[in-house]
Amino acid sequence: MKKIALFGATGQTGQKFLEAALAKGYSVKALVRDARKLPQASDRLEIIQGDVLTAKDVEETIKGTDVVVSLFGHVKGSPAWLQTNGTRNIVSAMNRQQVERIISLSGGGLPYPDKDRPKLADHLIRTIMKLAVPKILNDAIAHADVLKSSSVTWVIVRAPRLTNGPAKGNYRVGWVGVHASTTISRADLAHFLLRQVEEQQFNFQMPFVSY
């Protein structure tokens, strides 16, 4: 099975993804700032303590893996361009280590004009995001530009408001305004993210997953 380089493993979605990946038999190398925040223990889990903004830590995480899953994001006090600069480090390390594919997580505020058909509510949500959290939205857009301009194979999975509800195993994959709703549980999101490790359907696209 593939070996996954995981960024953002200590976040709520990251922990759900890690749990699902280990349960499926994958081996994982996870870069974390604080290993104490990672409750899972497995002989198929290698923890590297470091920072996604430190190139050598990123390279050590990606070395010897087959695919990258990038789930890290903003927390209180994060640098304005955290996702963009972290993604630059990841792409550079992928090129050096000859790892070809990355699955990255973002929000529904990230536009994808090729496929999105936003409704009035979607336009309102994006307007609110531009006013309330411009740093996060601008960083998400710039991180997508880094991936689009790179030579790696990328998938950007977008999600709406996340809940801590149980996995339903029944969700929709579409685009903003198309086969979409306003919520999904982290457990179901993790399930879809893990599917992308093997599936190739959404290469170079930005699917939106929701109930």
Q: Is the dihedral of CA 45, 32, 98, 155 positive or negative?
A: positive
Model confidence at 115, pLDDT cuts 50, 70, 90, reads very high
Residue 172 backbone dihedrals phi, psi, to 5 degrees: -110, 145
Query: What confidence score (pLDDT) does residue 40 get?
Result: 74
- What are the boundaries of each domain within the chain? 3-210
Instruction: Give the residue-averaged pLDDT of 169-182.
Output: 94
- pLDDT on residue 127: 86
Answer whether 14's CB lies under 8 Å from 34's CB: no
**Residue-averaged pLDDT of the chain:** 96
d(CA 185, CA 134): 24
* Pick among 2.130.10.10, 3.40.50.720, 1.20.120.340, 3.20.20.70: CATH of 3-210: 3.40.50.720
Tens digit of each residue's pLDDT (9 = 90 or more) over 137-167: 999 999 999 999 999 999 999 999 999 999 9
Reported confidence tier of residue 122, pLDDT bands at 50, 70, 90: confident
Question: Residue 84 and residue 90: Cα distance in Å, rounded?
Answer: 10
Cα–Cα distance between 45 and 39 in angstroms, integer?
Answer: 11
pTM (2 d.p.) = 0.96
Q: pLDDT digits over 9-25, tens only?
A: 999 999 999 999 999 99
Q: What angle do CA 128, 130, 132 make, to 5 degrees?
A: 60
Mean pLDDT of 176-183: 92
